[in-house]
Each structure stands twice: as structure tokens, then as C-alpha cells.
Amino acid sequence: MTPAPALKEQSQDFHALMRELGMRARAAAGPLSRATTAAKNRALELAAAKVLENAPAILRANALDLAEARGAALSAAMTDRLMLDQKRIDAIAKGLREVAALPDPVGKVMAEWTRPNGMRIQRVCVPLGVVGVIYESRPNVTADAAALCLKAGNPVILRGGSESLHSSTALYECLRAAPREAGLPDGAIQLVPTRDRAAVGEMLTMVEFIDVVVPRGGRSLVDRVQRESRVPVFAHLEGICHTYVHAGADIDMARKVTLNAKMRRTGICGATETLLVDRAVAKTHLPPILDDLAKAGCELRGDGATQAMDKRVVPATEQDWRTEYLDAILSVRVVDGLDQAIEHVNTYGSHHTDCIVTKDAAAAERFLTEVDSAIVLHNASTQFADGGEFGMGAEIGISTGRLHARGPVGVEQLTTYKYVVRGSGQLRP
Amino acid sequence: MTPAPALKEQSQDFHALMRELGMRARAAAGPLSRATTAAKNRALELAAAKVLENAPAILRANALDLAEARGAALSAAMTDRLMLDQKRIDAIAKGLREVAALPDPVGKVMAEWTRPNGMRIQRVCVPLGVVGVIYESRPNVTADAAALCLKAGNPVILRGGSESLHSSTALYECLRAAPREAGLPDGAIQLVPTRDRAAVGEMLTMVEFIDVVVPRGGRSLVDRVQRESRVPVFAHLEGICHTYVHAGADIDMARKVTLNAKMRRTGICGATETLLVDRAVAKTHLPPILDDLAKAGCELRGDGATQAMDKRVVPATEQDWRTEYLDAILSVRVVDGLDQAIEHVNTYGSHHTDCIVTKDAAAAERFLTEVDSAIVLHNASTQFADGGEFGMGAEIGISTGRLHARGPVGVEQLTTYKYVVRGSGQLRP
């Protein structure tokens, strides 16, 4: 194997470069799948220590990215995502240690039974394989994604955003040696050492080397990955999340849950984008909810009935029901009841996260059952759509796909299983 | 919606035809996902009764397929797979009733926990979505696949082999009305009403209508589906299964397990294709094993050490280690011990099903852990690679993929999950 530093030389032969990363990851998969929990945790602790130790170098690298971002006139939001300071570096190190503290899923017996012929069958949790992570401006994904993959026993190939390559590389330098120092294989954590987007195209077709791809970033990145990838993908294209205020909703709870679901942070995938309110309570419940939102700086786009409630509401178009604003904008519709609300969510939503606010338990159960989303909530903010908030530890993303992982993708979702059968000479009749 | 009979008219517009099937299946998904266990079981019982009732019509249709097969000079093996008789029809009806008797996975709470803020989180089993099944000559797949999908709450689109279209259609006529008579949606079970292979191409790109495709058939079908499909696939391309006789193997057990693993049925994916024997016991164990196999009519292809044991052994080439014979042929290699055996299996195998025969528990554990296959066995025949033999009820196939379903794909593997969160007004801080 070529030593890792040689990879840093920019190469135009992305196919050969990426295949080399792939082969190295595949070679690491077997040994890493059998690594002890202690060794994996030691690697994560070492990485955390190195990140803290090398904070000045990481900040210098980040300053280079930020300078280039100013030259490229990056948006304020993107620049904020790119920016690192000591607090954010501390958070990265803390994140690595939190993953070390998570239970190790590998080797867990998920089910076991004995057959009438005496064969004992176990379904045992094993690592998923090689994970490819394609992300954009946030350099912290370098450490977060690597940590989760390592804990689950999976080699990872990281492909950071071109705008954060200096920062990602500096972070990667802290992570890279940690597996080896803990006795784990080289190739456990690798970073694609080029800004060229052709490297992404290679990753998406490396079915023999990569078992699953996780895109972390905006709609255009996820859309490209979902369209082009020959490798299975864990992702959500968008989070068009709904809060539905049912006729049986407590007005105070409806106000608080809606305001939190929309305005706590508007840029996350679990932020509510559409509010549905039952016609039966629109006159009482909708005006104070709209007033809360308008006062918090939220633009309101509504149907006719909503516009009639508040002069600040501008008309919503058909496109609004299909839009993930990721901003202080909310579409609002008055619906005729539970059936119409469920139909609206299933038609216009993105099967991500949707909430009903009501005191009516039967209505809640119907919503929870009939809304076909990864996460359905009763009387709680859609902003809870997060692996950490679910108590799963960190997450590598949220999936709206139906296969393998649905909802937050944590360390457990980065595993698969095998059947282990123990017999005493059984023959099939 | 167009009534189903209209679909029987052959249409050249496969795109429109397949989209119509897709839309009908998608429309059925919601209602079917909420169907009661009783209704689903009633549909399966009705279907079983109709199959028995219409046995004469099914046999007449099968006779048409068999006549065409004779004209097309189909192989004896394919003709046997195609052939139905009263016994096989009885088995189809019995299979439908066995699926009715399986536990219903839908609605099962797979895990639940309460967060410190009081939110109750449940992970609940729900149907996977629309399943596409593409199969070859066996008409019974029509009923088996439809039954498993229906039990798991999934609409199914069946695409049978062109050589069995008369038989599949006759069986489908028995199944088609059963969901409706049990109060389940039309569109729960549909059969593609054309022999044109373009219909398969349409199915493989219908990502908006089909959630997973299951190919059932030979290598060329599975290979095409895996290469072309934009829809996720549950499949195994081949079953290059190994039996490894370790130095610590009991000679009698090794003989019996090997003979069963190879010769019980040579045409199934769990049949052993390669025998590995430790050099330390080759002189004692290998001659009787080879003799058993040769006497049972098995052609033997071996490495030099194996050839030296028995004159009936012809030389194996590198290609033999990579070949799924599905026939009375076995490749045989003498290995230097556990490490070489594991490496051989992981290098040349297909990650399907592999067995170690030994009395040495530590060696067995290493084999079970380090062989990266869907099913690993200790002291039991590889021919047990089957959902029914595992006690999972029927199976729709066996997957060597790592995502979602690995090993036998039964009714549980045809489901996914959603997170149901119940709160009392929790806001995310």
C-alpha cells in the first residue's frame, strides 16, 4: 500500500486515486469489524485529544478557508457554517468523546431461537461495511461522521466540501493516526484529498468498495447523490415538516409548540414549514398563533381562510405547500379536519417529521398511524427530529428512505446482521 | 381507475401501462398498510380456496406453457420448474395458508423508551411499501410472493417469466379478487400482463412507485436487475457456498454434512460448491468424503493435493473456485488451516452461506466471526439456507446485500419502521 501522505499530491487520475482509497477502506473492513470496543474507544479518545492539542493549527487552516470564502462571496449562512472557533473545536472534541461513551452495537445478539432439529440460530449485529460521506461546508462533519463510522466498525471515506478543504484536512490530520495508535487498521478513516467534483462521481459508482453513501448538505447535493448514485444512499432530500393543530388542541400548547417548531431554528430539517389548522378552531386558535409568529419575525403565507384572519398573511401558492423554506417563512392552511390534514401531509410532505397537537387521543392515534413519515409526533415540537434528542447519541443524518435506516441514522443504523447457526451435525432432510 | 381487465389487452405503450400499475399499487399502499390481520388472512384463505377450486383451469393453462416450452426446446430443468400437477397446486394452496398462519409483523413495537423530558418514543414496524417481483419459470412464485407481500401489508407488482405466462395468469386470476373480497384495496396484487421484456426495464426505473425489487431466477436475470435497477434490490447473484472440514472435525460428521451439503439438491443456492479440507486431516478425512461424493455421482475438481488422494478427481482451475455449478460438481481444495480457509471463503465466495465442521469450539467461533457471509454455520449443512428451515415461515428470496435484509427475506424483512413520539407539549430548548 502507498503510504497516506502520497495521496496528498493532487492527481488528475481520480479513478485510480479513488480506487486506491476504496481498496484501502475495503482492506480495513475485516480487521475493523473485529476490533474491540476498547480499541475503538481509545482511538476516539486519542482523536479528541489531538483535536484539542492542534486547535491553533485547525484555526489557522480555517482562516485560509474563510479568506477564500470572502473572495468567493459565500453567503453569510455558508460562512457561518464554515467558521470554527475555540468553542466549536471544543464541541468537536466533546462529540468524539460522546461517541466513545455510546454502547457498541457490534456483536449484539438481536434475536436467537432453537429449531426443532436442535440447531441454534442467532441474528448477530455486525458492521455495515465501507461508508462514504459527502458533505459541504461544515468542517465538524469530518470528525462526527468518522467517529460514528469507527464506533460501528465501518471504514469511512470522507469527501468534504471544497470550500472547507483546509479545515477538513487539518481536522483529518488529527483523526488519521488515531486508529493506528489504537492498534486499528490504516484505512479506517480516509479523506479524499482533492477539491475536484469528479471525485464525487467516482464515489457514487464504487459499488465494489463502498456499501452506503451518506450525503450531508443542501438540496442540490442530496439531489445529485440520489440521482447519480449506484451505491445505496441514506438521506433526506428535504424536510417539509408539518404542525397540525387539531380541533381538540389546547390553545396554549398549540401556540407554544407551533412557535418552537417553526422559529427555534429555521434552518434545520425538522423545522416546521407548513401549519395546518382545523376550521372548527381556526377563529380561536389561529389568530394568536399567527400573532406569535409574526412578532417573532416570521413571514406568513396562507390560504384564503388564513388571510382573512390576519392582514400580515400573504397569499400562498400551490408551490408553497411543496417548499422547504429553511427560513423564517411559514405556509398556513385551514383544513376541514383530520382526514384532510392527513391527506395534505402525505401529499405535500417529504415523509420526514410531522406533528399533531390535540387532546383527542383517538385523533392523535389516527394521525400517528396514517401519516407515512419517518417520525410522527403527538404534542411535541417537530424540532425534536434529531438522533441526539431521541437519545440515540450522535447521528450521521436523517433518512426519509424506507430501507434499512428510517429517521435518525445513528451508530446502530450503521450496522447490519448475519445469521450464526450452531449445530451438531444436522442434515437437511 | 381503469378496471383491471382492461390491462389484459396487450399494449405497446409499456411506459403508460407500467405507470398505471404503479399508481394503482401506490394508491393501495396506504389502505393496505392499515389492514387488519384478520382481513389479510381472510384474503389469503380465499386465495387458497380459489387455487384449489380452479385447479383444472390452472392445469390447462400450464399445459399451454408446456406445449410452447416443447416448441422452444426448453431445458429439462426449466421444463420441470415450469410444470404444475395436482400435487404442486396443493402445495401452492398450502403455502398461502401457511403465510396466513404466520404472525403479522405490522404494528409491532420494536423498541420503546422515555426521554428525560417525558417524551415517549416507540419504533413501530410498518409495511415497506410497493414490492416488485421479477421471476422466471416457476409459476408458484406468483402465489408465494403475493402472499408474503400481502401479509406484510405491501402491494406487489408481479412480473412472471414469459415462458410461464399462461400458468401465472391462471394463478393470478385466483389471487386477484381475494383482497377485494376481504375488504382490501384493489391494486394489492397485480400481474404485469405482457411478455415483453421492456416491462422489466420500466419496473427497474419506477422509483416513485416501487420501493424494492426482488428478482427470483437465474444469474443472468439477477445480474441484469442488479446492474440496471434504480430501485433498491433484495437479491443474491449466486450462492458459492463452502463446507470447510477443519482439522478438529469428526470424520463421520464431516462425511455426512459434506454429502448432504453438496448432493441433497444440487440446484439450490445453499448447495455447497467448494469443499475445503485442512491438510492436517486430508489423508484421513478426504478419501472417504471423496468416495461418498463420487459414488453419489458427483464430479470432483481438485487442487494437486486433492488429485493425489483420488484418481477420479480432475484438475480444478482458478475459475472453479469462483463457480456456482448448481449441479453435481464440486471443487475441492486442501488448505493449510483456519486462516487460509477463512481467506479462501471471503475471497472466492459470494457471502451467502458457509459452514465449518469441527469439534474445536474456538476454531468454530473464529470462522463464524471472520467469514463475512449472510449465513455462517457450525456443524450443519449449508442446505439449511432457507427461510422455512430457519423457522421464518416462507421466504421471498435470500439476500447477500448488506442493507435492510441479509439472508432469508421473510415477512419481517418486508417491513420497515417509523418513530412514534408521544408528548405533552414538549418544546426543544
8-state DSSP, A297: T
Cell readout for A323 is 417548499
Residues B135, B246 within the same domain: no
- Determine whether A142 is exposed, middle or buried from the number of CB atoms within 10 Å of its CB (0-12, 13-18, 19+): buried
Provide the angle, in degrees to the nearest 10, between the axes of the packed helices B37-53 and B55-71. Answer: 70
Chain B, nearest residue to A229 by Cα: B230
Provide the angle, in degrees to the nearest 10, between the axes of the packed helices B86-101 and B37-53. Answer: 170
**Residues of A in Cβ contact (< 8 Å) with B370:** 30, 34
Of B257, B368, B423, the CB nearest to A380: B423
Chain A, nearest residue to B356 by Cα: A422
Tell me if B418 and A407 make a contact (CB, 8 A cut-off): yes
Strands (E), A381-414: 397-399, 407-409
Residues B338, B211 within the same domain: no
Q: CA distances (Å), A345 to each of A240, A269, A274, in order?
A: 9, 16, 9
**Residues of B in Cβ contact (< 8 Å) with A118:** none
Tell me if A253 and B383 make a contact (CB, 8 A cut-off): no
Residue A193 lies in a domain: yes
Residues A111, A53 within the same domain: yes
**Residues of B in Cβ contact (< 8 Å) with A417:** 406-407
Among residues A402, A390, A349, the alpha carbon closest in space to that of A239 is found at A349
Q: Write down the pLDDT at residue A8.
A: 46
Residue A396 lies in a domain: no
Look up the CATH number of the domain holding residue A184. Answer: 3.40.605.10
Residues B224, B277 within the same domain: no
Residues B230, B253 within the same domain: no
Give counts: helices (H), strands (E), chain A: 14, 16
The answer to whether the CB of A273 falls within 8 A of the CB of A330 is: yes
Residue B412 lies in a domain: no
Residue B402 lies in a domain: no
Residues A195, A62 within the same domain: yes
Q: Write down the pLDDT at residue B73.
A: 82
Residues A229, A293 within the same domain: no
The answer to whether the CB of A354 falls within 8 A of the CB of A241 is: yes
Residues A228, A253 within the same domain: no
Residue B102 lies in a domain: yes
Query: What is the C-alpha to C-alpha distance for residues B65 and B218, in angstroms, rounded to an integer?
Result: 19
Chain A, nearest residue to B353 by Cα: A419
Query: What is the C-alpha to C-alpha distance for residues B134 and B158, in angstroms, rounded to an integer?
Result: 6
User: For chain A, how far is it from start to end, CA to CA, in angstroms?
Assistant: 48
Residue A400 lies in a domain: no
Tell me if A380 and B422 make a contact (CB, 8 A cut-off): yes
**Residues of A in Cβ contact (< 8 Å) with B121:** 390-391
Query: What is the C-alpha to C-alpha distance for residues A243 and A255, in angstroms, rounded to an integer?
Result: 11
Last residue of a domain, one of B182, B205, B235: B235
Residue B116 lies in a domain: yes
Biggest alpha carbon–alpha carbon distance for chain A: 79
Q: Any idea which residue has 380459489 for its cell? A: B50
Give the count of domains, chain B: 2
Number of residue pairs across A and B with CB atoms under 8 Å?
Answer: 171
> A222-230 — which CB contacts under 8 Å span 24+ positions?
A224/A200, A225/A134, A225/A200, A228/A201, A228/A204, A229/A204, A229/A205, A230/A204, A230/A205
Q: Write down the pLDDT at residue B5.
A: 42
Compute CA B265 distance to the chain's CA centroid, rounded to the nearest angstrom: 16
Tell me if A402 and B128 make a contact (CB, 8 A cut-off): yes
Residues A246, A201 within the same domain: no
In this structure, the number of other CB atoms found within 10 A of the CB of residue B315 comes to 11
Look up the CATH number of the domain holding residue A287. Answer: 3.40.309.10
> Cα angle vertex A234, ends A229, A239, to 5°?
110
Q: A interface mutation test: which of B208, B403, B406, B412 has the most A CBs within 10 A?
A: B403
**Residues of A in Cβ contact (< 8 Å) with B256:** 425, 427
User: For chain B, how far is it from start to end, CA to CA, in angstroms?
Assistant: 48
Q: Write down the pLDDT at residue B97.
A: 96
Give the torsion sign (CA, A330, A336, A337, A342).
Answer: negative
**ipTM for the complex?**
0.94
Residues B17, B105 within the same domain: yes
**Residues of B in Cβ contact (< 8 Å) with A121:** 390-391
Q: Write down the pLDDT at residue B8.
A: 45
Please give the residue range of the domain that contains residue B190: 4-235
Of A379, A404, A424, the CB nearest to B425: A379
Query: What is the C-alpha to C-alpha distance for residues A59 and A55, in angstroms, rounded to an integer?
Result: 6
Query: What is the C-alpha to C-alpha distance for residues A61 and A286, in angstroms, rounded to an integer?
Result: 49
Q: pLDDT 10s digit of each residue in chain A, 429 long?
A: 334 444 444 446 889 999 999 999 999 999 999 999 999 999 999 999 999 999 999 999 999 999 998 888 888 888 888 999 999 999 999 999 999 999 999 999 999 999 999 999 999 999 999 999 999 888 999 999 999 999 999 999 999 998 999 999 999 999 999 999 999 999 999 999 988 888 999 999 999 999 999 999 889 999 999 999 999 999 999 999 999 999 999 999 999 999 999 999 999 999 999 999 999 999 999 999 999 999 999 999 999 999 999 999 999 999 999 999 999 999 999 999 999 999 999 999 999 999 999 999 999 999 999 999 999 999 999 999 999 999 988 899 999 999 999 999 999 999 999 999 999 999 999
- Determine whether B351 is exposed, middle or buried from the number of CB atoms within 10 Å of its CB (0-12, 13-18, 19+): buried
Query: What is the C-alpha to C-alpha distance for residues B197 and A328, in angstroms, rounded to an integer?
Result: 50
The answer to whether the CB of A222 falls within 8 A of the CB of A209 is: no
Q: What is the pLDDT of residues B156-214, one digit of tens each?
A: 999 999 899 999 999 999 999 999 999 999 999 999 998 888 899 999 999 999 999 99
Residues A86, A188 within the same domain: yes
Residues A177, A296 within the same domain: no
Which residue ranges of chain B lie beneath pLDDT 50?
A: 1-11
Residue B65 lies in a domain: yes
Q: Write down the pLDDT at residue A9.
A: 47
